[in-house]
Structure 1
């Protein structure tokens, strides 16, 4: 009986934590696109992600607007991998996240739906509703910007994207 109670409490706590934030969409800027065939190859690769419900390319800006399925775990590294697998690189990823009363400040971490966000260079505030966050990690920004950031950003695991064996995304608002 105790085992069932522990499972029930764990399930409730997991749901409560995941209910405080949800990825809605992401604007993924891709570098290296030179033609419509490049655009189609990248779009085709991104369509294979099971958490993506819709993709709208903007060829003038080399941006793909990905809309995510509700209550699906979003893996930002898989987005980067799909773009790289198509022969290109992510030069910027801005995710729109729906937060529900989440307190953040500089160098705080927030975990939800299998993701850990480490906030960098943000003032203390409560996040409510949709908020755009920009990824600062390697592979989500140009290499020269990442190199510059490694000198300025002293957040744990910034150089590796790992803290204690856990993937951490460094973000700013």
Structure 2
């Protein structure tokens, strides 16, 4: 009887762990500074080197890349930013489809999902369940003028630094708009 109970507990842990393994399913990335197809190709190649990216589909008319991510892989938004910058360009906008699973957003706009902390700029005291398209509003994920405007509006050290104290630890906090 104990063996069956342990088996069921392990099964739930495995299923529960894989449920949050992929919190972001796709993203639309606008890149600033692209002037030709070679620039686009350099950015695409740089992005494809990330192990969690399944596919990169460029749209040269809009300077946008549609990113799809490998199933079961955790997506690192900071690595995406770094790869765009390594290719010599900057992010103008990044919108991602984030799969929330009954995730509570507290009255301050904070939510935690699979080890990531999100600060919602325009959502508080609600529960998110299912895919939500969110725009990442942090520095280097939007234009510098848009960041300066939002920083003046929010007047928050956490927004300026991209980090804050969560449960007593300095933690990376992504600022989102939905």
The answer to whether TM tops 0.5 is yes
Further displaced range: 102-111 or 24-33: 102-111
CA drift at 1:148 = 1.0
TM-score (structure 2 length as normaliser): 0.82
1:30 aligns with 2:51: no
Q: Which runs of 5+ in 1 are unaligned?
A: none
Q: Which runs of 5+ in 2 are unaligned?
A: 1-5
Q: For 1:21 and 1:44, locate their aligned partners in 2 and report how far apart those are by CA, in whole Å.
A: 23
Structure 2 counterpart SS, 1:157: helix
- 1:142 aligned residue: 143
Give the number of aligned pairs: 165
Q: For 1:113 and 1:68, locate their aligned partners in 2 and report how far apart those are by CA, in whole Å.
A: 16
- 1:157 aligned residue: 158
RMSD: 2.6
- 1:116 aligned residue: 117
CA drift at 1:124 = 3.9
Q: For 2:43 and 2:99, locate their aligned partners in 1 and report how far apart those are by CA, in whole Å.
A: 26
1:169 aligns with 2:165: no
Q: For 2:61 and 2:107, locate their aligned partners in 1 and report how far apart those are by CA, in whole Å.
A: 34
TM-score (structure 1 length as normaliser): 0.85
CA drift at 1:131 = 0.8
In structure 2, relative to structure 1, the CA distance for the partners of 1:87 and 1:42 (3 Å cut) is same
Larger Rg: 2
Q: For 2:22 and 2:68, locate their aligned partners in 1 and report how far apart those are by CA, in whole Å.
A: 15
CA drift at 1:137 = 0.4
Q: For 1:152 and 1:18, locate their aligned partners in 2 and report how far apart those are by CA, in whole Å.
A: 36
Further displaced range: 72-81 or 126-135: 126-135
